[in-house]
Amino acid sequence: MSQTRPLLSRGLTFLMATATGLAVASNYYAQPLLHTIAAEFGLETRDAGLIVIAAQLSYGAGLFFLVPLGDLLEQRRLVVLMTILSALGLLLSWAAPSVGWLILGTTLTGLFSVAAQVLVPMAASMAEPERRGRVVGTMMSGLLLGILLARTVAGGLSTLGGWRSIYLVASALMLICAITLWKALPPRRQTVQMSYLQLLGSVLQLFIDEPVLRLRAGLGMLSFCLFALFWTPLTFLLANAPYEYSDATIGLFGLVGAAGALGASLGGRLADQGKGLLTTFVGLVVLLLAWVPLLWAKESLIALLVGVVVLDLAVQLVHVSNQNAVYALQPQARNRLNAGYITCYFLGGAMGSMLGAQLYQAQGWNGVVIAGIAISLLALAVGSIGLMRQRRVHLPTAADSGI
């Protein structure tokens, strides 16, 4: 059990959401710059995609091996240390003399930027039960805004000072964030009587014991696979004819996608009202519909913009309802539950990035869209069967009690 829960003020919630966004953003600065980085280092499209894949795989490794430490160590110290180490990885990327060094810096940053996923369950534990869905929604809004606005900021700074400048600025912001978190966060420690290896084993055991976790992790994996499947090759679509946009203009698409962050807040409020199953199902349906306008993304900017907003909104509806369902399972194991769920989530992202880069080089944008529709149909089928099964057996999950 945790220590006595302090009141989670709106200001502290905002700070933690901002820190979450900054941490996760560190893994996405390269996306709008892939075309420029590839040109400097002489890389092909699929090889440039390795930078994004390295970020997501290292983030996934950090989720499994580091996030469970939030149930073992003092959480404030853990978050601050991870934030500092992530900043050092960004510095290495800034100074990288070759793509190998850039991938190494990206890997270090991704590994330790999982501080974000210690902050999310920490905020959920500090929140009053009746506000937990909204707090998680706010944290997820911060996370999504970090992912999407990273593209906008990176594109703008690349135009002004070259692609390396974003890594220097981001490193400084992470160090400032570490100092602020150290001063603002209360000390918090779980009293889990386990060794580190037992802690990791318990993450796997949770998948065996909790069917809700298995379903939600699977849905999270598929939804974030679709997110990455779209965003990774988008840079190459926009950098080439007929668009031929600059890094700064490509980065602006992050602002369009940021509208989808509203889905995080909406999803959290619906979860607080006991409509978690309905929110998930609607999100899965919208996830499929998002690919319809994207069929015309090569010819129509309006169709592309509509697809961006709808896709990001759907991903957030699914993600927030997933996390609320998972957090309601075992409050004393929230970091481990989150580690298991988010590890699957970002493995899906890595698969989506890899698939998107390969398909775009081999089949062009049409191949990406066809794959998106196929995976969306799979997610809808898995979700429909799994959610109906949960409803029939009346699993005692507060976030899943309504449909």
Within its chain, how far is the Cα of 206 from the centroid? 21
Residue 16: name the closest of 137, 185, 130, 132 by CA. Answer: 185
Query: Which residues is 189 bridged to in the sheet?
Result: 74
Q: What is the pLDDT of residue 191?
A: 66
State the DSSP code for 394: T
Query: What is residue 7's predicted lDDT score, i.e. its pLDDT?
Result: 61
So what's the pLDDT on residue 292? 96
Homologous superfamily of 10-400 in CATH? Answer: MFS general substrate transporter like domains (1.20.1250.20)
CA nearest to 262, candidates 124, 144, 104: 144
Structure tokens at 140: 């997820």
- With a cut of 50, which residues of the chain have pLDDT below it? 1-6, 395-403
* The 3-state secondary structure of the chain, one letter per residue: CCCCCCCCCHHHHHHHHHHHHHHHHCCCCCHHHHHHHHHHHCCCHHHHHHHHHHHHHHHHHHHHHCHHHHHCCEHHHHHHHHHHHHHHHHHHHHHCCCHHHHHHHHHHHHHHHHHHHHHHHHHHHHCCHHHHHHHHHHHHHHHHHHHHHHHHHHHHHHHHHCCCHHHHHHHHHHHHHHHHHHHHCCCCECCCCCCHHHHHHHHHHHHHHCHHHHHHHHHHHHHHHHHHHHHHHHHHHHHCCCCCCCHHHHHCHHHHHHHHHHHHHHHHHHHHCCCHHHHHHHHHHHHHHCHHHHCCCCCCHHHHHHHHHHHHHHHHHHHHHHHHHHHCCCHHHHHHHHHHHHHHHHHHHHHHHHHHHHHHHHHHHHHHHHHHHHHHHHHHHHHHHHHHHHHHHCCCCHHHCCC
338 DSSP β-pair partners = none
**Quick one: pLDDT at residue 403?**
33
Angle among Cα 33, 17, 348 to the nearest 5 degrees reads 55
Instruction: Take residue 224 and report the two structure tokens written for it.
Output: 């974030």
Please report the pLDDT score of residue 162 as a whole number. Answer: 92
Alpha helices in 127-193 (DSSP H): 132-161, 165-184
Q: For residue 393, what pLDDT is reported?
A: 62
Contact (Cβ atoms closer than 8 angstroms) between residue 155 and residue 252 = yes
The whole-angstrom separation of Cα 163 and Cα 134 is 36
For residue 295, the model assigns a pLDDT of 95
Q: What is the pLDDT of residue 400?
A: 42
